[in-house]
Structure formats: structure tokens, C-alpha cells
Amino acid sequence: MTANRAVTYQGPMKVMVENIDYPTFELRDGPGVNPANVGRKVPHGAILKVVTTNICGSDQHMVRGRTTAPEGLVLGHEITGEVVEVGPGVEFVKVGDLCSVPFNIACGRCKNCKEGKTGICLNVNPDRPGSAYGYVDMGGWVGGQADYVLVPYADWNLLVFPDKDQAMEKITDLTMLSDIFPTGFHGAYTAGTKTGSTVYVAGAGPVGLAAAVSAQLLGASAVLVADLNQDRLEQARRIGCETVDVSKGDPRDQIEQILGVPEVDCGVDAVGFEAHGHGKDSGTEAPATVLNSLMEVTAAGGALGIPGLYVTGDPGAGDEAAKIGSLSIRLGLGWAKSHSFTTGQCPVMKYHRGLMNAILADKVHIGDAVNATVIGLDDAPRGYADFDSGVAKKFVLDPHNSTGRVKAA
């Protein structure tokens, strides 16, 4: 039996690399697996040798102990890999194909999937609509920060790259197709970004930078990226964005200095529930800050794209309401300004093929934009610690050194 190692959550701020079972075409019991999914047959699945798998801010929420994730959960939902085995129900995906794996697990058969709402598939998670690899309350599909991973409904879920050699040359760009590039694009797109738009992106982490790059692709005339972290703001400036340092106070003043008016056309929340206050309150967690601020700075009739994660269970929240995802949102302000809001998981399949084509045609270099940094699987604990410290990097795990680029975190 081929060995398989994986990154597992071991409690707040603790991850480790340990041996796990090699995948089979059946979902077995384990940490976080819904009892109703135990024994589920996956003849439509494929087993992938993981080429790259990224550390995501959503993973970091779990590792910080800010969710109800169980100890022992195998992490990782941003996966790119080579098919090494297919189940008897797979017709089109072949052994040897190099593929991007959408972080959404979708059946392709239910009403939502047929309408393109693959982030809320009805058939893969007994707890609620929507599922993902290696994530809390998502059905228990084993995560991909591992040597090998099982992908169900392979013909539907996998995006096969047309040329393996070309794909490997651009792998630090293409690895972002599993999540953050489509997620950032979804944020900018649902915020209504179009030619000439002014766009405010809250958060200069990898998703925020992906949203900023996406706004540029969509034709924005000005993209403003806000954060507290100076290194991340500098990374935003490197890719041609204006920046807003919210530690200095109300972002409207800085927006007006940049644009001549205190409002923008489009707002994107790439922060989520671990947001901090602005100005003198920047050292204090205030989970509704970004949403309320976006309503203030987005012009009447504008839209808010909200790819930032909000959860229904946050044991580390500062008050009882926030522990169940209940926040003090100024909905009256948004209503008065006729704002529209788009929330929830990005339906990756809606965007990933087009974004792949943009990468392959050299129209965008998302890996450079988010400062992709390739490390080995054994360096994952250090990568998590560095990412938590706020470094302006997107860590890409390469379990087999398939890229030849592995270096220390």
C-alpha cells in the first residue's frame, strides 16, 4: 500500500504532519466525517497524487481554534493534482491528467448544481447545502494537504489542464484556481465591477489581492485595498493598487484623498468574521466592522461582494451573539442605500475555466500577485505559523517536490 502523509489539526495553533490511510473509493470514518457519510461509495471518484495544495485563510480560522473543527481533521481544500487512479464510474477523466480541484464538492446532479450553484450542492453534505475538502461541518471529505487525495464526481469536478508541460510551467498561478482566484473574482464580479468602476477591497491577504487583480481584469479604473498590515499593503501597491491603512482611522477620509469623493462604486469584503476595528480600535476584534464600513463607503445603488468567511459557530468570539454568527450589522444603512449583497462559498466552476485560460494566455500572473511561496509538506507547521503572523505570502505546499521549487518557509 502506498504511504500517505497529511497535515492535521491538533488543537488551537497546532498542526502536524502524520501518516493517514491511502484513499479508497469509499468515505471511511474519521475526524469530522458525518455519520451519514460513513461507508459512502465513490465509484465516480478519482485518486490524485497531489502536486500543489495551498494554505488558505479559511484553514487558518480552524487552526486558530475559531471553529468547531475536531482534532485530527485532515486540512486542505486548495488542491491541484495528477490522476493516478479512477473509479469504475469515471468516463472522461484519465490517469495522468493534471487537474485543478474546485474546493466546492459538488455532485453535478442536484437542482443547485444544474443551476451552477456548486457551492451549495444538496447531495454531498448531510449537515447543510455545500461541502469542501478538509473543512469543519462539510461532510468529512478528507483534506488535500496530503500526498494523495480522493475527489468524488471526478468527471464533473475536475478541471483538466490541456497541456501538462505548460501547466507545470505556470503551476504557481494555476494552483490558485482551486479557490482564491475564483473566490476573489467572485467578490469583485458580484460587487458589480465593470469598465471604469472604482472598487474598495477590504483585506490585503491572498483573497483580497486576488479580488484586486480580478477587479483590474474586469476593467476597474481604480482599485483601493485596505488593511492594517503594512507588508500586505505594500504587496497591494506592487500590483498597482491604491492602499488604505485603516489603522489610521475612518477609511472614507483616505478614499476621498485618493478619488476626490469619499465613496466607491463597488465594495468587497475579503476579511470575514475575524475583522478588527479601525483607527484607535484597530487592536480590537470587531467582527461586523468590515461589513458596516463597506456600507458606509459604497455609493447608493452599489453592491457588496462578500467572499470573506462568516461562520455559524465561533467558540473564540468575544460575545455570545458572535459565537453563533449573530453580528451587529447596520442593515438599515444598506437598505437605505439600496445595496445588494452576495455572500457564501464561491461557485468555483462558474469561473475557473475562464481564469485558467487567462493564466495560460499570460493575461494575469496571480501567483506573483499573492507572492506564492512553495514549501514542502513537512514545512506546513512553519508555514501556518508564518501565515498567522501576517506575512505577505501565499504558502503553496508541494508534497512530492513536483515543482522542483520547494524551499524552507
Q: Which domain holds residue 359?
A: 5-179+347-397
Cα distance from N-terminal residue to C-terminal residue, the chain? 30
> Residue 407: its pLDDT value, please?
67
pLDDT band at 276 (very low <50, low <70, confident <90, very high): confident
Say if 247 falls within a structural domain.
yes
CB 251 within 8 A of CB 226: yes
- pLDDT tens across 39-95, in order? 999 999 999 999 999 999 999 999 999 999 999 999 999 999 999 999 999 999 999
407 found inside a domain: no
Q: Is the dihedral of CA 183, 188, 192, 195 positive or negative?
A: negative
Helix (H, G, I), strand (E, B) or coil at 60: helix
Q: Is 89 a member of any domain?
A: yes
Q: Which residue has the cell 503551476?
A: 171
> Whole-angstrom Cα distance, residue 236 to residue 293?
20
Residues 37 and 138 in one domain: yes
* Cell 469530522 belongs to residue: 32
Same-domain pairing of 17 and 138: yes
Query: In a 10 Å sphere around its CB, with 0-12 CB exposed, 13-18 middle and 19+ buried, how is residue 252 labelled?
Result: middle
The Cα 313–Cα 321 span in angstroms is 10
Task: Flag whether 276 is in a domain.
Answer: yes
Mean pLDDT of 33-44: 96
| CA distances in angstroms from 99 to 83, 238, 307, 403, listed in the order given | 8, 30, 24, 15
pLDDT digits (tens, 9 = 90+) for 90-112: 999 999 999 999 999 999 999 99
CATH number (domain holding residue 209): 3.40.50.720
Classify each residue of 330-360 as buried b or exposed e, where b means 16 or more C-beta atoms within 10 Å of its C-beta.
eeeebeeeebebbebbbbbbbbbeebbebbb
pTM: 0.96
Q: Classify residue 25: in a domain, yes or no.
A: yes
Average pLDDT over residues 357-365: 98
pLDDT tens per residue, range 118-156: 999 999 999 999 999 999 999 999 999 999 999 999 999
Q: Name which of 271, 243, 239 is nearest 259 in CA terms.
A: 243
State the pLDDT at residue 316.
85
325, 342, 359: which is the final residue of a domain? 342
Cα–Cα distances (Å) from 143 to 31, 246, 374, 405, in that order, read 11, 35, 19, 23
Looking at 320, 342, 364, the residue that finishes a domain is 342
Q: Are residues 191 and 155 located together in one domain of the fold? A: no
35 and 120 fall within a common domain: yes
Biggest CA pair distance of the chain: 64
- Is there a single domain that holds both residue 393 and residue 380? yes
Nearest to 33 by CA among 72, 64, 86: 72
Strand, coil or helix: what is 377?
A: helix
